[in-house]
Structure 1
Amino acid sequence: MAGLYVYSVLVVLLLTCGAVMATKENDQIIKENNCETKMGLPCFLEAFTSIFETGSISNKCYVELVVLGKVCRSALVKRTLENPLFKDLRPATIIAKSIQTWNNCLALIDSPSPSA
């Protein structure tokens, strides 16, 4: 019986350490890439609303999101999901919305603009 308890404690410790390492990894990526300074607050809020709630992103903010880059977008989304305030969100759904938003940005940027 004691063996099961010890095993359970080890599993919890490993999972906790993994979560802490993931947080540090995302924070390090964000810091090393200056992710928090690459996007203006209005566009950051548009992107956040689009990914974590329901909303759309303006063409200007699509451009800023692409400048932010895939690595920064991914690290910021993952760090947000680690925040206890967002514990009720389904990570798979949020990550899928984040990828879809990114793909929409790339499609808009890559598409030729209509001629006047």
Structure 2
Amino acid sequence: MATKENDQIIKENTCETKMGLPCFLEAVTSIFKTWSISNKCCDEHVLLEKVCHSALVKRTLENPLFKDLNPAKIIAKSIQTWNNCLALINSPSPSV
């Protein structure tokens, strides 16, 4: 998907305002580098909605800073991160 299409999706869905910057940075770092995300940021990440998640990951992949990364691996990791966060927030909380 071209940058213009991703930018349009991001703008139309107000993606950049749905998640706080600290958790956004943690999610991006999780997908592109560390492979882990906190429970708090998972909650915010899922509120971002899948369409925003996908568009933001694809737009980030188009950045020249990430040109040496394997896009298929990053997209697979982004899907894994999304699914892990969904499972986390949908699992019953342990009783205290």
Q: Shorter chain as normaliser: what TM range?
A: over 0.9
Q: Is the Cα contact below 8 Å between 1:46 and 1:55 reproduced in 2?
A: no
TM-score (norm 2): 0.96
1 CA distance for matches of 2:29 and 2:64?
A: 18
Q: Deviations over 1:3-35 (max 9, x none)?
A: xxxxxxxxxxxxxxxx7xx11110000000000
Deviation beyond 6 Å, 4+ runs, structure 1: none
Partner of 1:90: 70
Show the 5 A alignment for 1:1-116: 22-116=2-96
* Secondary structure at the counterpart of residue 53 of structure 1: helix
Give the Cα–Cα distance (whole angstroms) in 2 for the partners of residues 53 and 96 of structure 1.
13
1:28-80 deviation digits (Å, cap 9, x = unpaired): 00000000111101101110110000142111100100000100000000001
Give the letter for the 2:85 counterpart.
C
Secondary structure of 2:36's match? coil
Q: How many residues align?
A: 96
CA distance in 2: counterparts of 1:75 and 1:100, whole angstroms: 16
Cα RMSD (Å) of the superposition?
1.0
TM-score of the superposed pair, with normalisation by structure 1: 0.80
Kindly name which structure, 1 or 2, has the bigger radius of gyration based on alpha carbons. 1
Considering fraction of residues, name the structure with more helix: 1
Contact 1:26 1:79 in 2 (8 A): yes
